[in-house]
């Protein structure tokens, strides 16, 4: 059984270890999980292992008031091949009770390792992780110290594997934790007389703002007073911590019932922040000339991304081609990774990734780096893996995005793409770029988004009327509206489980219209004067077959039959407003059906395996 997407936390040297671990796990809930556990060791030699299927709240209850100590590790698990259960939850412990391990990733050769070394061991779970902890104990029994045994096991894990390991030796008197990673994310948080470990800085912002990166292949030994990093050859590595500015409260829900609505509502503010971050007072764009020169030297852009970020890439193609005049291809990362198309002579790669950790995108970046091509990561998370490994980074400045369904990162990505496209076009002296008053346009967008979120009550009612009980739905549009139809459809299916297709309006009649029957919801997006009349005819075609239509139209094209009228913005920026209606429809449909909007079933926020 594999364990992926999981969250890891650890602490050494704090009397309140239990609370730090539980709080950290709560902050990692957004990653998606189905069981969780902690192991805590007290000064008096008392050890506590508590695991629970379900939510952290259940684990907290199980922990009660009796679990206390100064060193511990914790984990949220997202099951793949096997059931979520208490036995399969982490931490896993060796048969002799000495070693405790939490793991994020997949061990490709766990079955071989088990057969070769551990035939006599009595296993308690079906996980690959338990094989690793039993194997560490196996080599320790042969006489190796804890670190040597850990390193030995790391050398036996095959190259297809991914992992972030946090190991605790319950016999060590010095509260030592051992850490290693390959592909999966993991950070060390540095404190005074204590240190912590986490998958995401957000989990530990309440105790420290200083973090250390770990590179693949390194082994780190952590005590309350020291962090010792060794490279793969055993040499000592010196590394300065980086500071994370994010305020822990930026990730709080406040008065909102769900993060998704908070994050939808934050989009006007994100647009304004991007204006401030990327333009000086004279209106000059604040993007390094180095990056601008590198990207303008390319003959073709390749945007690589997954999920919602991929959809932001589709809009990016329009922006880069129309404003910067450069041919642009957009690819799904998991497809591109193992099936690279014929590249142009001078390609430039753009990785769009909210988290900066998506394994599918990273796999492409690793190959791109091997081939020596320049690359840019556009991400919300400074110092994330894809940011560190690309030649350049542009940040989304959207603040933490906690809800699994991505909203403000999508609009942030499109805005950053527009800013970059304008910078590129200006450098090439293109009239279209020079005349594009982007600060003015982004202000219009921010105001337009604000008007839409202010009138969310109307969308709430539409969701109840049209999407209340349906099992399926369609979004249709042409051109840039089709790009948004794909994203709006993904939102609706992710959080409300309504099977929704985003479709090119004109293509509907070539087969898929067969699915339209009485009451089928069809949501049409109409913002482009060139294609508005055509899309309206397609709407008539589905109405004639009984569809229940919601039309979302730009102000200048709207009629009094349209249920949602979008504030007027620049034609290339309409996705920034039209998507807000789609996000709100998805949110309310999910909420009305009684689902946990922020944590849809089967999904994870940060997908760290391929």
Residues that bind ligand G6P (CB under 6 A): 306-309, 353-355, 358, 361, 404-406, 603, 605, 607
Kindly tell me which of 353 and 551 has the beta carbon lying closer to ligand G6P: 353
Shortest gap between Cβ of 263 and ligand G6P (angstroms)? 12
Shortest gap between Cβ of 176 and ligand G6P (angstroms)? 33
Kindly tell me which of 52 and 401 has the beta carbon lying closer to ligand G6P: 401
Inter-CA distances, 283 with 290, 320, 361, 412, Å: 19, 20, 33, 19
Shortest gap between Cβ of 455 and ligand G6P (angstroms)? 26
Residues 6+ apart with CB under 8 A from 431: none
3-state helix, strand, coil in the chain (%, to 5): 40, 25, 35
Query: How many CB atoms are located within 10 Å of the residue 118 CB?
Result: 17
- Nearest CA among 535, 525, 501 for reference residue 578: 525
The single residue of 181, 183, 599, 605 carrying the catalytic annotation is 605
At residue 276, φ and ψ (nearest 5 deg) are -70, -40
Q: How far apart are CA 413 and CA 265, in angstroms?
A: 16
Encoding tokens for residue 551? Answer: 């039309």
Encoding tokens for residue 291? Answer: 């990056």
Collapsed DSSP state (helix, strand, coil) of residue 549: strand
Kindly tell me which of 195 and 354 has the beta carbon lying closer to ligand G6P: 354
Encoding tokens for residue 175? Answer: 């509260």
Is 6 annotated in the active site?
yes
Kindly tell me which of 195 and 355 has the beta carbon lying closer to ligand G6P: 355
The single residue of 6, 422, 491, 493 carrying the catalytic annotation is 6
Angle between helices 307-323 and 408-427 (to 10 degrees): 20
Shortest gap between Cβ of 584 and ligand G6P (angstroms)? 17
Write the DSSP symbol of residue 65.
T
Shortest gap between Cβ of 419 and ligand G6P (angstroms)? 18
Shortest gap between Cβ of 358 and ligand G6P (angstroms)? 3
Q: Which residue's Cβ has the minimum distance to ligand G6P? A: 307
The length of the chain, given as a count of residues = 610
364-370: long-range contacts, CB 8 A cutoff, minimum separation 24: 364/304, 364/333, 364/336, 364/337, 365/304, 365/389, 365/390, 367/337, 367/340
Kindly tell me which of 315 and 404 has the beta carbon lying closer to ligand G6P: 404
Stated as kind and residue range, the H or E segment containing 563 is none
Shortest gap between Cβ of 148 and ligand G6P (angstroms)? 37
- Nearest CA among 151, 156, 107 for reference residue 130: 107
Q: How far apart are CA 229 and CA 417, in angstroms?
A: 37
Kindly tell me which of 273 and 406 has the beta carbon lying closer to ligand G6P: 406
CB burial readout 172-201, b (16+ within 10 A) else e: beebbbbbbbbbbbbbbbbbeebbbbbbbb
Kindly tell me which of 304 and 569 has the beta carbon lying closer to ligand G6P: 304
For the annotated catalytic residues, the residue numbers are 6, 605
């Amino acid at each position: 059984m594999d364990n992926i997407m999981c969250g890891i936390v650890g602490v050494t040297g704090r009397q309140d270890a239990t609370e730090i671990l539980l709080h950290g796990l709560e902050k990692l809930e957004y990653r998606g999980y189905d069981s969780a556990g902690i192991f805590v060791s007290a000064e008096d030699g008392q050890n506590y292992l508590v695991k629970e299927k379900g939510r952290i709240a259940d684990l907290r209850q199980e922990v009660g008031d009796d679990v206390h100590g100064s060193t511990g590790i914790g984990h949220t698990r997202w099951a793949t091949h096997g059931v979520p259960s208490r036995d399969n939850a982490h931490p896993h412990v060796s048969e002799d009770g000495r070693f405790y391990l939490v793991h994020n990733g997949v061990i490709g050769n766990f079955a071989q390792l088990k057969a070769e070394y551990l035939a006599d061991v009595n296993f308690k779970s079906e996980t690959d992780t338990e094989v690793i902890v039993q194997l560490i104990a196996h080599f320790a029994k042969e006489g190796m110290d804890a670190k040597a045994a850990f390193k030995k096991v790391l050398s036996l894990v095959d190259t297809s594997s991914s992992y972030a390991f946090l190991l605790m030796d319950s016999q060590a008197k010095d509260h030592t934790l051992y850490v290693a990673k390959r592909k999966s994310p993991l950070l060390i948080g540095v404190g005074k007389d204590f240190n912590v470990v986490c998958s995401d800085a957000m989990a530990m912002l309440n105790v420290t703002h200083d973090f250390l990166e770990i590179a693949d292949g390194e082994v780190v030994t952590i005590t309350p007073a020291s962090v010792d990093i060794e490279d793969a050859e055993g040499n000592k590595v010196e590394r300065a911590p980086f500071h994370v500015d994010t305020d822990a409260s930026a990730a709080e829900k406040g008065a909102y019932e769900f993060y998704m609505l908070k994050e939808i509502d934050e989009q006007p503010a994100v647009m304004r922040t991007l204006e401030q971050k990327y333009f000086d007072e004279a209106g000059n764009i604040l993007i390094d000339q180095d990056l601008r020169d590198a990207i303008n030297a390319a003959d073709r852009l390749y945007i690589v991304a997954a999920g919602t970020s991929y959809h932001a890439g589709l809009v990016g193609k329009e922006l880069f081609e129309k404003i910067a005049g450069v041919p642009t291809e957009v690819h799904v990362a998991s497809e591109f990774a193992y099936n690279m198309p014929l590249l142009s002579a001078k390609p430039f790669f753009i990785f769009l990734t909210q988290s900066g950790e998506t394994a599918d995108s990273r796999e492409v970046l690793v190959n791109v780096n091997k081939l020596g091509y320049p690359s840019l990561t556009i991400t919300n998370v400074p110092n994330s893996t894809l940011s560190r490994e690309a030649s350049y980074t542009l940040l989304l400045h959207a603040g933490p995005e906690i809800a699994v369904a991505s909203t403000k990162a999508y609009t942030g990505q499109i805005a950053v793409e527009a800013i970059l496209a304008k910078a590129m076009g200006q450098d090439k002296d293109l009239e279209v770029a020079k005349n594009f008053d982007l600060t003015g346009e982004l202000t219009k967008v921010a105001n337009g988004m604000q008007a839409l979120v202010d009138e969310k009550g109307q969308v709430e009612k539409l969701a109840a009327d049209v999407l209340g009980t349906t099992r399926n739905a369609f979004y249709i549009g042409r051109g840039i509206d089709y790009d948004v139809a794909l994203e709006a459809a993904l939102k609706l299916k992710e959080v409300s489980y309504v099977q929704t297709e985003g479709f090119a309006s004109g293509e509907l009649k070539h087969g898929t219209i067969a699915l339209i029957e009485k009451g089928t919801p069809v949501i049409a997006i109409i913002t482009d004067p060139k294609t508005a009349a055509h899309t309206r005819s397609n709407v008539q075609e589905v109405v004639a077959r009984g569809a229940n239509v919601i039309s979302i139209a730009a102000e200048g094209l709207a009629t009094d039959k349209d249920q949602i009228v979008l504030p007027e913005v620049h034609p290339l920026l309409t996705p920034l407003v039209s998507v807000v209606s789609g996000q709100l429809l998805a949110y309310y449909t999910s909420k009305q059906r009684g689902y946990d909007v922020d944590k849809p079933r089967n999904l994870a926020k940060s997908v760290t395996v391929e």
